[in-house]
Amino acid sequence: MKILTQSGQAIQKLYNRNKYYRKKHVEEKVRKIIEDVRSEGDEAVLRYTRRFDKAKLTAKGLKVRESEISGAFQNITSEFITDLKAIINNVSLFYKKQIQKPCCVRDDDGIMLKENILPLDTVGIYIPAGTAPLISTVYMTVIPAKVAGVKNVVIATPPDADGNINPYILAVANLLKVSDIYKVGGAQAVAALALGTKQIPKVDKIIGPGNMFVTEAKRQMFGYTDIDMLAGPSELAIIANRYSNPDYIVADLEAQMEHLGGLGVLVTTSKQIIKQVRHRVANGYIIHAKNIDEAVAIVDRIAPEHLQILTNNPRTVANKVKNAGAIFLGPYSPTALGDYAAGPSHVLPTLGTARFFSGLCLSDFTKKSHIISYSKKALERMRGPIENVSTLEGLPKHCESIQVRFK
């Protein structure tokens, strides 16, 4: 691991890694793919599927058939189903606690102000399957959508060269009652979901991680549809002191490095921990902090996707942290627990965006409508302020729309 000094350029690049992730050639390629899907629809989707995934599909073959889903269960063991049910229970319990009730304000003059919380109608979920089929992403995204009340949840995931989808992805999606599954990946999948084609429905929001082409497509399609966040490579920061177990630190950092482009950062107050860990992990960074408060300040600037606190007082340290997608406390809460089974979704902000993005929440699958009802008496009370402001703005018809009700 490389040791970073707090005054060096390398640490500044780490803090500002978001601006280095976007590449001009990726933006241009994605823009071309989007324009092709916009003008050609399914034909462009099929062409790019042949080019990038080596799968030769027909337009009707883009949608996974019922027979393919049934066939997938032949490769699924009963033990997996049992394990999956335990995980589904954990994730469902967490998101059911997030269900909100609409707020309502009333007064004696006849004012009623209300906020309705409504589920989105159709959500598209992207499941990566290029370098590794992310089976866990299926339940980590579909479950909160279902708990929120989304009627139509569709999945887009790249096929293999034979035009097949990983059987576990199909089985989990089926068990969670996903509406439809489409054999398409990359920027063309995002474009198809955002714009709609003859075979692939236009969705209200696109959820899920992906490579830089998927992320760039989500960025360019934002506005045509909503998105959850702009995700980059997986990240882990660890705060450790002299009480931390170096074997746990090494194991957790190496686990994170299994992800393509994964980032691992150890921030520690212990020089002994640095000696014990430095040469045991091939990649990543180590930053020495004078004390825990400085370690927290460094982590807040990194704003990592995952933060593990392996000190002897993890709760106290966690209370000081402001910027992290998910925080794991103590030696028996590794990031892998959150990746697969703890409950909260593993779809989390990366590239320092934990400063303003949150992990996937129930609210990501809902929208709010404001309902406003005034009596004549209540409107008369606000007549003067409305007339004054609309006059200052030079909008006399707004003023007249109030006055006409009192003639």
Please identify every residue annotated as catalytic.
305-306
Integer angstrom CA distances of residue 192 from 38, 64, 209: 8, 16, 16
Burial class of 369 by CB neighbour count within 10 A (0 to 12, 13 to 18, 19+): exposed
For residue 255, how far is the Cα from the chain centroid? Answer: 20
| Edge-to-edge strand list for the sheet holding 366-373 | 104-106, 112-119, 366-373
**CA gyration radius, the chain:** 25
Distance (Å, rounded) from C-alpha 354 to C-alpha 358?
6
Distance (Å, rounded) from C-alpha 65 to C-alpha 292?
55
| CA nearest to 340, candidates 81, 171, 87, 168 | 87
| CA nearest to 232, candidates 138, 352, 355, 359 | 352
Name the amino acid, one letter, at 31: R
- Tokens representing 86? 């335990």
Distance (Å, rounded) from C-alpha 128 to C-alpha 137?
8
Three-class SS string for 335-362?
HHHHHHCCCCCCCCCCCCHHHCCCCCCH
Indicate the length of the chain as a whole number: 407
343: left (phi over 0), alpha (psi -120 to 50) or beta: left
Distance (Å, rounded) from C-alpha 333 to C-alpha 185?
33
